[in-house]
């Protein structure tokens, strides 16, 4: 079981989460719980660090600092389990035998030595493990980067061969579209790893792509469910298990967290796109939906999407290349990415045409299009994002059945 | 160097403390800094735990929880040193090789494996070590109990053979009396370990007795000094180093943190006092100044002082014994303990008589008296505490010279 930060944000929520762990224990199961830092604690610690040292900081010391958030979470969680009559113990990442490698703040789980975990479990204890952290070869604690607690949970499920990992959060599962925007949105019973990965890429913030990949690789079935409601959530399952074999749209996503960058009037000659992409990759800038327009007058435009926070950095990084090429870099901030995720798109062009027909009907201009067998994404004006999502949800017949 | 919680209570204070560490480094010294939890963080964490689980809690989990406070302190401290251009690294107690034994929340430092410490020092780094914590044989973190950060500092000074340990706090040193009460109070250049131990027993809260004992045993000279002012503080030194060889009063202390308990009308027969004391010791109640009054009419009174928080517990613990003995237990809450600490008291009765003359002159009633070669303590009405302290400070000629 993994409880995210919002699920343990205050003492009452910690108590409720602990109750669920204790209930599982009473059903005769061995229970390992991965706990995140309560509420905003991680951000509060980072703010504190900024007040001591503004600007760039040693990532090793930041890891030493922020890893305390999860440590607070697990000890409170274990205490709450004990108060409900269950034996429980908390273990930090290092104590739980989670060995990590790579650079601080972006470490990877290298391996898990399960000795301590197994001995606590066989002593009948609920084991609360700190998410998001591991032990480095030289005895330091390193954090696993964004979504790291999910990764801890999936890696533990794999190492302990539980087969199953439940991710508890403030969402009830995976929906056909964000239910805050689309009233008819329906919770899916299951979704394939592939579709879930595409949804993550399309901006759905339920789980990070990294954890989904690891779960798929090691055969861990994930259930995404609510920390506050008892109902079943959505199972993320291997493709062969999925009922969603035929071509169909499973879910939609709306992502307003990205901006669009265009390099305008690039000469139409080989190697230019590669030059642009290597510049971005050297600057550590993630991109999505790279589109090269058809050349006109010996000139091209290259456009891509990048996280909002990296927009200006990307613009700067590209300014040198653009100058040499006699091009200019435009930044478009008021954009939204709308995506349909499913299977079999390649052989069913009607899925794409439904999208374009629907958007045209609603007079939504499309800035960019990218499509694969599992996803079609379009970039539209930000102001059209929600209405496009609602129209497409209806057009694809995704509503409650 | 050891910085207490008030010395690192906010970002600005952390920066000032880091500046002092960096200045020492620039003087060519290898610097190890023990850092406490910033400000009220320990209490805040305990309050949070109380909100999750009121009442009694697993001490092992409390240690897991509160040890994060120091971890926050060291990482912020290391970042602040780095911002001042010095190489620095933070180490938790376990990372610093501090091995502890005994029960959680009251662990003892067992030994220090200095390998990591020495390697970081020889890499030219300022090493910020989390106070108050160590690694247990089964890989847990355990805290060292009250004053534990001082103990960490002294133990590290001993293990690293530094010979010297500087304790930085919000007091400028050891004074002849609390300068907030006695205007003429004078900062001592030095004081012996023995006197310092007596002062701790007399209620001076500068350092815990435990750390002083360890420092004396391992030949670590301590300097108690201000975190906010550059002036030298007070050295705590072995007796042979001390200039205070002749009989004299070195300092006074006023302690309002204790209450007086009396068992009244105890039969005057052997073994009764032992019965009372073993009852208290079994209940884990610390006592000071046990006085048995001269018998009158075959009856005795036994009085002692105990920390205020334990007063009612002690009264309850003794109620059974008292009943069997036909006695009653009285609790006196409005009392203060005034002590004179120094050397050679046994052979110089004029020191004691000066105290009693002075108190009589000022019409201060004395409830209890206890004296040794190094300390005379009297218990008076709480309302007379401050004025007694001022009068005695004058009578012993302790003011600025």
Of B52, B75, B116, the CB nearest to A80: B52
A90 touches chain B (CB under 8 A): yes
The enclosing H or E element of A295 equals none
What does the block give as tokens for B364? 């201060």
Alpha helices in A247-310 (DSSP H): 272-282
Cβ contacts of residue B54 below 8 Å, gap of 6+? none
- In the numeric block, the tokens 């091209």 are attached to A300
Question: What residues of chain B lie within 8 A of the CB of A68, using their CB?
Answer: 68, 71-72
pLDDT one-digit tens code per residue, B174-183: 999 999 999 9
| pLDDT at residue B147, as a whole number | 75
* Among B50, B67, B75, the residue to mutate for chain A (most A Cβ within 10 A): B75
pLDDT one-digit tens code per residue, B176-229: 999 999 999 999 999 999 899 889 888 887 888 889 989 999 999 999 999 999
From CA A64, how far away is CA A51, in angstroms rounded? Answer: 17
From CA B8, how far away is CA B2, in angstroms rounded? Answer: 11
| pLDDT at residue B373, as a whole number | 80
Q: What average pLDDT does range B94-119 have in this prediction?
A: 95
Q: What is the DSSP letter of B362?
A: T
Nearest-by-CA chain B residue for A55: B83
Of B11, B62, B92, the CB nearest to A52: B11
Q: Are strands B164-169 and B375-381 parallel, antiparallel or unpaired?
A: unpaired
Of A11, A61, A72, the CB nearest to B78: A61
3-state secondary structure of B379: strand
Reported pTM = 0.82
| pLDDT at residue B255, as a whole number | 94
Taking the CA of residue B85 and the nearest CA in chain A, the distance in Å comes to 12
Angle between helices B209-217 and B193-201 (to 10 degrees): 160
What does the block give as tokens for B83? 């911002």
pLDDT one-digit tens code per residue, B325-354: 889 999 999 999 999 999 888 778 888 889
Share of chain B above pLDDT 90, in %: 72
* pLDDT of B60 over the 80 cut: yes
Q: Class of B2-170 per CATH?
A: alpha beta
Q: Residue B266 in contact with residue B272, Cβ under 8 Å? A: yes
| pLDDT at residue A328, as a whole number | 92
From CA A398, how far away is CA A327, in angstroms rounded? Answer: 43
Of A58, A68, A76, the CB nearest to B48: A76
B205 touches chain A (CB under 8 A): no
From CA A274, how far away is CA B364, in angstroms rounded? Answer: 91
- pLDDT confidence tier of residue B400, bands split at 50, 70 and 90: low
Chains A, B: CB contacts under 8 A, how many?
Answer: 102
Tell me the ipTM for this assembly.
0.78
Closest CA to A254 of A398, A383, A395: A383
A137 touches chain B (CB under 8 A): no
| pLDDT at residue B299, as a whole number | 82
Q: What average pLDDT does range B313-323 have in this prediction?
A: 92
Q: Residue B305 in contact with residue B259, Cβ under 8 Å? A: yes
**Gyration radius of chain B over CA positions:** 23
pLDDT one-digit tens code per residue, A106-130: 999 999 999 999 999 999 999 999 9
* Among A45, A65, A67, A116, the residue to mutate for chain B (most B Cβ within 10 A): A65
Question: What residues of chain B lie within 8 A of the CB of A89, using their CB?
Answer: 60-61
| pLDDT at residue A281, as a whole number | 85
Name the phi and psi angles at A2, rounded to 5: -125, 125
What does the block give as tokens for A170? 């403030």
B123 touches chain A (CB under 8 A): no
- pLDDT confidence tier of residue B294, bands split at 50, 70 and 90: low
Question: What residues of chain B lie within 8 A of the CB of A16, using their CB?
Answer: none
CATH domain A2-244 topology: Carbamate kinase (3.40.1160)
3-state secondary structure of A88: strand
Residues in chain B: 401
Taking the CA of residue B8 and the nearest CA in chain A, the distance in Å comes to 11
| pLDDT at residue B208, as a whole number | 81
- pLDDT confidence tier of residue B244, bands split at 50, 70 and 90: very low
Residue ranges of chain A whose pLDDT lies below 50: 242-244
């Amino acid at each position: 079981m993994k409880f995210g930060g919002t699920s343990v944000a205050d003492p009452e929520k910690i108590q409720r989460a602990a109750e669920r762990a204790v209930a599982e224990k009473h059903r005769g199961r061995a229970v390992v719980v991965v706990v995140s830092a309560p509420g905003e604690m991680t951000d509060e610690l980072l703010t504190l660090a900024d007040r001591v040292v503004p600007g760039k900081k040693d990532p090793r010391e930041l890891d030493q600092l922020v890893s305390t958030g999860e440590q607070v979470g697990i000890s409170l969680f274990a205490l709450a389990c004990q108060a409900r009559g269950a034996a429980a113990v908390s273990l930090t990442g290092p104590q739980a035998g989670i060995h990590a490698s790579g650079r601080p703040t972006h470490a990877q789980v290298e391996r898990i030595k399960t000795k301590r975990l197994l001995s606590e479990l066989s002593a009948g204890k609920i084991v609360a493990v700190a998410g998001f952290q591991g032990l480095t070869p030289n005895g330091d604690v390193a954090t696993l980067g964004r979504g790291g607690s999910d990764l801890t949970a999936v890696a533990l499920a794999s190492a302990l061969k539980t087969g199953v990992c439940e991710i508890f959060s403030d969402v009830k599962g995976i929906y056909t579209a964000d239910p805050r925007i689309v009233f008819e949105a329906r919770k899916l019973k299951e979704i394939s790893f592939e579709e879930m990965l595409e949804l993550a890429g399309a901006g759905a913030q339920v789980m990070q792509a990294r954890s989904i990949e690891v779960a798929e690789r090691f055969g861990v079935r994930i259930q995404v469910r609510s920390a506050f409601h008892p109902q079943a959530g959505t199972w993320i399952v291997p493709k062969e298990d999925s009922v969603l074999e035929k071509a169909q749209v499973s879910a939609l996503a709306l992502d307003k967290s990205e901006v669009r960058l265009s390099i305008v009037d690039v000469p139409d000659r080989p190697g230019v796109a590669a030059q642009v992409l290597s510049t971005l990759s050297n600057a550590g800038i993630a991109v999505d939906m790279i589109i090269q327009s058809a050349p006109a007058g010996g000139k091209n435009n290259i456009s891509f999407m990048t996280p909002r926070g990296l927009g200006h950095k990307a613009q700067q990084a590209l300014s040198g290349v653009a100058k040499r090429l006699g091009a200019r870099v435009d930044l478009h901030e008021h954009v939204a990415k709308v995506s349909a995720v499913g299977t079999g798109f390649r052989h069913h062009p009607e899925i794409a045409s439904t999208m374009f027909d629907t958007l045209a009907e609603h007079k939504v201009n499309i800035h960019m299009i990218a499509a694969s067998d599992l996803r079609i994404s379009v970039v539209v004006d930000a102001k059209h994002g929600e209405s496009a999502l609602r129209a497409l949800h209806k057009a694809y017949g995704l509503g409650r059945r």
